Structure 1
Amino acid sequence: MQAKEIITSDNETKYVMKKFYAIFTALTLFSTVAKAQQTIRGWITDEQRLPIEYANVIALSVRDSSLVTGAVTDNAGKFLLTLPANSNQVFLRVSGIGYEQRNVFLPLIADTLQLKAESETKTMEGVTVTAQRPKMAIRNDALVTTIIGSSLAKAGSGNDVLKRIPLLSGKEGSYSVIGRGAAVIYINNRKITDATEIERLNSSDIKDIEVVTNPGARYDATVSAVIRIHTVRKVGDGFGFDVRTSAYYWENWDTNNQLNMYYRRNGLELTAGSAYNIDNSLNKQTTTNEVQTANLWTNKWTSDSHSCNTNNNYTLSAAYEFNANHSVGARFFTNLLVGANNGHGDFSTDVFKNHVLFDHIESRISANSTAIPNKSLSAYYVGKVGKIDIDFNTDYYYGRETEYRITTEQSANYANRTVTSAGIHTNKFFATKLVLSHPLFGGSLSVGNENTFTNHEQNYVNQENVVPSTASTIKERNNAFFFEYSRPMPIGQLMAGLRYEHVNSDYYDEGEYSPAHSRTYSQWFPSLTFATRIKEVGLQLSYSAKTSRPSYRQLGTNVEYMNRFTRQSGNPTLKPATLHNISLVSNWDIFTFVANYTQTHNKIMYWNEQESTDENITTLRYRNFKNLPVLTLSLTAAPRIGVWSPQLILFCQKQWFDIERLGSKLDLSEPIWGILWNNTFDFKDNWIAETRLKVTSKGITENSELTRNNCAFNFSVRKAFLNDRLSVTVGVNDLFNRSANQLLLYTNNLSIDTKQEFDSREFYVTLRYKFNTARSKYKGTGAGESERKRF
């Protein structure tokens, strides 16, 4: 056995050991005989009496250990086995990725059999051996990090935990998985649509976090990664609340404020929440833009811009559990933009024609946006009828935003110009999702249907007619069917799925249907995952087919005015990209290795075209590329040394790609390397100090080259009071102010060399108080979330 954690005390050293059989502190089996079949029902919990999900329970013949049947525990730790009448001599084998397996012998003739496995503790020469599951392990389709009982349980909020999970990067409820892109987040099987909910989640309430690098068929075909958060089950009625306020300062002030209230009574839960945030940002940029036409045009400009975004949202929800098998709920969310989000930028531009100064332009862009309150309403039913599990969700969303922009240009050699524009975006969608699950052949079969109806309108008006005014509408219907089958086997866990999506996208230009821009897609998306364990090494191999659909802004025909030489527009002829992904995950002791290979067809990238009426004017838009293969590798080490919990992640991303540029091939295959080093120091008296260092090398991604190394260092200290009900965190982000971006974009005849400096360095203070908080009973998983993100 191997030591998992070392704790130094006065005269003794305690080694906390891995031992799976101690996890099963309560295992109760019920056996009944009905007609020609026998049924075994039971549940599995850990030492805290928390259910163990996805444990494998297999019935084997006592005579030759051949497989009779098997099952997988659900999210309540329950399982059901149905045996033939001639299966009197069987035993159960209980196992799970990250645990040692255990055999349980039982007589099936008994009406009721109760078995309890006690936690084993052995003392040997001052060394105490106690059972504990590993902090990180492979479990079925996910890489699991255990939070409860670790230093991460004291991190603060859900965001504070997610920022320290291997393979994840991001902040404030928006996270991506290295090599896979943006992730969809679930809490207790409910899809998160309000990013502030992650911040409202207490780290001490999190049981574990699963990172899925290859999601199966039950997830939308556009979902490339999933984060599943499981919380500790809590009981208790009454009123509770938590309040949090944060202030950030360096070159400007930012603030983040939240209030959440709860009321629980028997099976009823009522919640109300509000968040008010102000985000000020500064951006200094230097850009050199070269376009080779009949002449060589070079634009060199510097800019200094400022924006202020104000957000105010409210959430109301109600959930009711009739009993363990039936629950319903509804949630209403509205997002208010208080006043107007606004920004402005000052630009100083030198224009050269064939290296000779052509013009000098001083310009200012002022923009502000207003929106009517966005509204979303969701409802769910989760139940069980007989052996069938039912999960139904429905969602409605409506939002409208108007952006006004004024561009003033003062030219040294030509006429001055003022360009005013208004862009109006209106989005509506309605979605439903139904999933039915049933035990089958020793495993579990899930079938489902998801329907999404979307209406997206774009209107762009330019009063001076410098660029054309446009009006377009996209009406889209997506009908999806899927199935997933999961079955434990003596050599591991097998999961297979297939999803079919049929999409009708109707395009209207100025109210007239446009067959040339309308599309119909029918695609199959298979998925396959196999997880096993060879001695101390956990292994997972998976494949999935996915799609990446263009956003509605990318599909739009609006032509936005940037300056007198540059425009920006969407492309209604864009096709969805298809991704084929193979992943290998391996976990041993403190080490985790992940390899992802993705082949993307019809990859969507930034490109440019010259205006047919004036080749000196460049329009930036998107286009499809035939093929883009990318390999991503990462290695994580996460030991525990006394009060110090370091985590070191090494990663590399390489693509094989080239483009036609100025009549020749340009190779874009230079890899990107990176290091992420997190350190947590868990001191006495509820003091926690943390550091985070991220370094990213030069390299190329898609058709953009990172031309400088990037580095960011964060530091924070947290102190908890009143049994962790009150906490104070003081920290600094990007202490050395080294996270500036510098990249070079290549197209066929255009290069854009940009250096951006942000106000990323900021000191902050966070105060948080929580009273009688508990896990939400709301179980809705949401429907049509991928469509909402395309808005």
Structure 2
Amino acid sequence: MKYLNLSFLFLLFFVSTGFAQTGKISGKIVDSKDNTPLESATIKVFKSGETKISGGNLSNKSGEFSIDKLSYGSYNIEISFIGYETYKSENILLEASEKDLGVIKMSSSAMMTDEVVVEGEMPIMTFEGDKKVFDIGKSSLFKGGTAIDVLKKTPLIDVDADDNVSLRGSQNVKILIDDKPNRMGSLKQLPAEMIEKIEVITNPSAKYEAEGITGIINIVLKKTSQTGYQGTAMLNFGTYDKYTGGLNLNYKKDALTVFTGGWLGIQNYRFDMTSSINYLVPVSSYLNMDGKGKNFSKFLYLPLGAEYEFIKRNTIGLEGALTLASFSGSNNSRNDLLNANQNLVSYYLRNNDNAGEFNNYFVSLYYTGKLGEDKELSADLTISGNNTDFNMTRVQKDYDVFGNLISPLFPTSKETTNNKSDFITFQSDYVHPVSAVSKFEGGIKFTNRKNDNDYVYDSLDYNSGQYIRNLGTSNRFQLTDRISAGYLMFGSSFGKFSFKTGLRLEHTFSKGELLTGGQNFEKDYLNLFPTLSLTQKIGDMNQIQLAYSRRITRPNIWRMNPFRVQPDPRFIFVGNPDLNPEFTDSYELSYSLYTPIGTITPLAFFRRTKDVISQYSYLTDSNVTVITYKNASAFNSYGVDLLLSSSVLKWLNLNSTFSFYETKFDEALESNYKAEEGFSWRANIRSTFIIGDLFNFEVFYAYNGKKINAQGTGMPSSNLDLAITKTLFDNSTTITFRITDIFKTSKWGNDVTGSGYIATNSTIPDSRIAYLNFSYRFGNTNKYMTKQKKVKQNMNEGQDQQQDQSRPQ
């Protein structure tokens, strides 16, 4: 077979380089307004005076295209892209090996009626292959904010009080930064000014790792690629001691590109918290909590990289980044114990103080290039690691009903947690066109990740005044995952219909070692993940798309650690090493409709998930709540997202999203309770008012309805944000003032029904914050152009998800 393949390739080479004089037509397609490369634009080539297609292709992520094996002569070219006017050029003379058309600028469509003219505006969402791309680079609502602020305002995405990110109501989502794993301790360490756009892939193709039920969120950072140098400086001030500042620098000369920068920040956050637990057995009683807290953090982010195009369209690059962060916080609460008549029996005061550090690094060596005229090969080796030290001191004082100090039920304690993670990833991808409209894609990927969690618990001995190691709670647990994968895809098109199908094979080996107590376990499984995408273009403006994918969610280190931890006399946390991965079949139907008054994009989806990994809690005989995890049977989730965009008036742009979700579990985690099911909805609207040449004024409102989980529901929440932006000095300087959550309506919480108890908890952040932001662009700003890193188009490693925000603190 090897010799047959070589012979076949040699034959192809011989035919393509025979006696006939042939060449190729190439170029690059960008948006006419901001020079953003347009991926997946359709290019067709015709012999002048003929209607039969002589060749065709799709533009890649950098907007580049090449149509090969064209005989010498005169040609007409036609380029189409959803939401843009069709580009046509005639009588292109091909009389050498290559005719480079250079940069082709396409304009978004201008739709006309008898009454109004709608100026071309970039839609709220555009399709780029299997991606839904949300362009946020021009919005002033994010100035001075972080990546968390950006995600909160991105359609389909939600963020809770602990910065857990959800896509369509599920936290089982992979988060990437520039197509690489997110290794930051918190997305609050990533300034919004560094972000160009958000890519959402709800049904990833077989090229992408299968991890993550709801798909992938890729945060694309700003870069530049023009000759010379270009930079951006930013300074931001926020109320309650919030400060960020940074610098991006880019330099390009000939085949060499260098990019670097530095960002630092200080963040302070405050919040109120309440909870109420009604214990139903053995007799009714209550525990009510009311408290306040604050968190402080500071970070430094230092990226550095370089690319060298050693042969035309063949590039090697080396990049890396270092993140240094520290954090501290405290919360104080009063906890009242009540009898069945809700009369006070006793109470206790608790103070939790915490502090820690987070350090992260990554280094990536990559290559991308052309093999011959039309084949593509890329490879990437990434080594990364992070280390987190977390320390907490808990002080509790107990009082009787008259306020007299009594012996504490829970002694003063110190907790120290060290978590280390190391990752090695290698990936290689290959693209082999077989015709102008058809191509095979294939690749391999190897991932090795090791997590080491060391938890130490010390209790204060009141007699000696010394802390004593609690061996019954302290533990060290290691989890190693080795994932090997390969995939094969084929895509083609017939007229305005196109399809892409693929199959991915993943082998997973996991080994857990509880070094405290010597308990070990292993998991070994092999799975197939098919994918399919069908697209039908309707005219040059609209399209309908149907997609299917199979996904997996593997249990992480916190959910599998079998050691029992009791940081509170009334709560026990324990993992479950017998957890199995959960699998999801995901279907989606989408349609893009462009009308004279705007764009309408409905998205319908259905997901069927089996062996659902769910947090599960129950009550012991001594009224101690045990919180653990188990595989529920299955659940269905389905819904509709409706995205609307309009710019009928030159001075007003409107973007809205309405989402309606239904979730139903097949059966409850406890047999004596009804399985949870329910309807959720969320909506947001963003309006931009252009006040002549004076300033821009933006308004954003969002409402999130209740959310359904295995044992209860999440509370609804809403917020209203405002922003005003003014540009000065030939648009090189921008000043932005914005206010978040003006009416302080943001909150998060849950209602939980467990075995023997009913609980309610809520957190209200101090979210009404005013920001003042200054940004300045310098260098070759008149030639600004967004850079799309060449190799990153094939990288899709997901977030490791080894840090579970639900872990007790």
Secondary structure at 2:502 match in 1: strand
Q: Which residues of 2 match residues 190-229 of structure 1 at below 5 A?
A: 199=191, 210-223=199-212, 224-227=215-218, 229=220
Show structure 1 runs of 5+ residues with no match. Answer: 1-30
1:52 shift after superposition: 4.2
Who is 1:242 aligned against?
232
CA distance 1:427–1:598, change in 2 (3 Å): same
Task: Tell whether 2:419 aligns with 1:412.
Answer: no
1:234 shift after superposition: 4.3
Contact 1:444 1:487 in 2 (8 A): yes
Who is 1:492 aligned against?
497
Using the alignment, how far apart are the partners of 2:614 and 2:93 within structure 1? 62
Q: Which residues of 2 match residues 136-535 of structure 1 at below 5 A?
A: 136-144=125-133, 166-169=155-158, 177-178=167-168, 182=173, 184-185=175-176, 187=178, 199=191, 210-223=199-212, 224-227=215-218, 229=220, 234-238=225-229, 240-249=230-239, 252-338=240-326, 341-352=327-338, 359-371=345-357, 373-386=359-372, 387-412=374-399, 415-416=407-408, 417-441=411-435, 442-464=437-459, 465=470, 467-510=472-515, 514=519, 517-535=521-539
Which is worse superposed, 735-744 or 45-54?
45-54
Using the alignment, how far apart are the partners of 1:61 and 1:67 within structure 2? 8
Aligned mate of 2:645, from 638, 650, 656? 638
Contact 2:328 2:355 in 1 (8 A): yes
Contact 1:652 1:671 in 2 (8 A): yes
Contact 1:628 1:655 in 2 (8 A): yes
CA distance 1:460–1:124, change in 2 (3 Å): closer
Contact 1:54 1:72 in 2 (8 A): yes
1:443 shift after superposition: 1.6
Secondary structure at 1:554 match in 2: helix
CA distance 1:352–1:156, change in 2 (3 Å): closer
Deviations 1:292-346 (A, max 9, x none): 44444532221222222222222222222224322222223222234xx222222
Contact 1:600 1:629 in 2 (8 A): yes
Task: Tell whether 2:661 aligns with 1:680.
Answer: no
Who is 1:19 aligned against?
none
Equivalent position amino acid for 1:644 in 2: L
User: How high is the sequence identity, in percent, across the aligned residues?
Assistant: 18
Which is worse superposed, 107-116 or 402-411?
107-116
Equivalent position amino acid for 2:396 in 1: E
CA distance 1:342–1:711, change in 2 (3 Å): same
Who is 1:751 aligned against?
758
1:119 shift after superposition: 9.3
Equivalent position amino acid for 1:453 in 2: N
Deviations 1:629-652 (A, max 9, x none): 111212122110221101122211
Equivalent position amino acid for 2:309 in 1: E
Using the alignment, how far apart are the partners of 1:394 and 1:385 within structure 2? 20
Using the alignment, how far apart are the partners of 2:105 and 2:429 within structure 1? 37
Secondary structure at 2:746 match in 1: coil
Using the alignment, how far apart are the partners of 2:482 and 2:105 within structure 1? 55
1:165 shift after superposition: 5.2
1:279 shift after superposition: 2.1
Using the alignment, how far apart are the partners of 1:198 and 1:423 within structure 2? 24
1:444 shift after superposition: 2.3
After TM superposition, the score normalised by the length of structure 2 is: 0.81
Show structure 2 runs of 5+ residues with no match. Answer: 1-14, 401-405, 460-469, 804-809
Which is worse superposed, 638-647 or 561-570?
561-570
1:410 shift after superposition: 2.1
Task: Tell whether 2:798 aligns with 1:786.
Answer: yes
Equivalent position amino acid for 1:377 in 2: V
Who is 2:629 aligned against?
622
Who is 2:729 aligned against?
722
Equivalent position amino acid for 2:29 in 1: T
Secondary structure at 1:235 match in 2: coil
Using the alignment, how far apart are the partners of 1:744 and 1:173 within structure 2? 19
Contact 1:461 1:469 in 2 (8 A): yes
Aligned mate of 1:704, from 697, 702, 712? 712
Secondary structure at 1:786 match in 2: coil
Who is 2:403 aligned against?
none
Count of paired positions: 745
CA distance 1:318–1:686, change in 2 (3 Å): farther
Secondary structure at 2:576 match in 1: coil
Secondary structure at 2:798 match in 1: helix
Using the alignment, how far apart are the partners of 1:64 and 1:241 within structure 2? 48
Contact 1:143 1:210 in 2 (8 A): yes
Task: Tell whether 2:37 aligns with 1:43.
Answer: no
Equivalent position amino acid for 1:303 in 2: G
CA distance 1:180–1:533, change in 2 (3 Å): farther
Who is 1:24 aligned against?
none
Who is 1:542 aligned against?
547
CA distance 1:101–1:728, change in 2 (3 Å): closer
Aligned mate of 1:588, from 586, 593, 597? 593
Which is worse superposed, 696-705 or 565-574?
696-705
Equivalent position amino acid for 2:210 in 1: A
Aligned mate of 1:561, from 558, 566, 570? 566
CA distance 1:450–1:123, change in 2 (3 Å): closer
Using the alignment, how far apart are the partners of 1:163 and 1:718 within structure 2? 20
Which is worse superposed, 354-363 or 401-410?
354-363
Using the alignment, how far apart are the partners of 1:81 and 1:459 within structure 2? 57
Contact 1:43 1:73 in 2 (8 A): no
After TM superposition, the score normalised by the length of structure 1 is: 0.82
CA RMSD of the aligned region, Å?
4.2
Secondary structure at 1:752 match in 2: strand
Using the alignment, how far apart are the partners of 2:394 and 2:116 within structure 1? 72
Secondary structure at 1:587 match in 2: strand
Which is worse superposed, 661-670 or 296-305?
661-670
Equivalent position amino acid for 1:42 in 2: S
CA distance 1:483–1:196, change in 2 (3 Å): farther
Deviations 1:669-698 (A, max 9, x none): 221122201111122225111110112234
Who is 1:14 aligned against?
none
Using the alignment, how far apart are the partners of 2:799 and 2:645 within structure 1? 37
Using the alignment, how far apart are the partners of 1:369 and 1:514 within structure 2? 30
Using the alignment, how far apart are the partners of 1:46 and 1:669 within structure 2? 46
Who is 2:617 aligned against?
608
1:180 shift after superposition: 6.4
1:56 shift after superposition: 2.8
Equivalent position amino acid for 1:220 in 2: E
CA distance 1:78–1:545, change in 2 (3 Å): same
Which is worse superposed, 106-115 or 687-696?
106-115
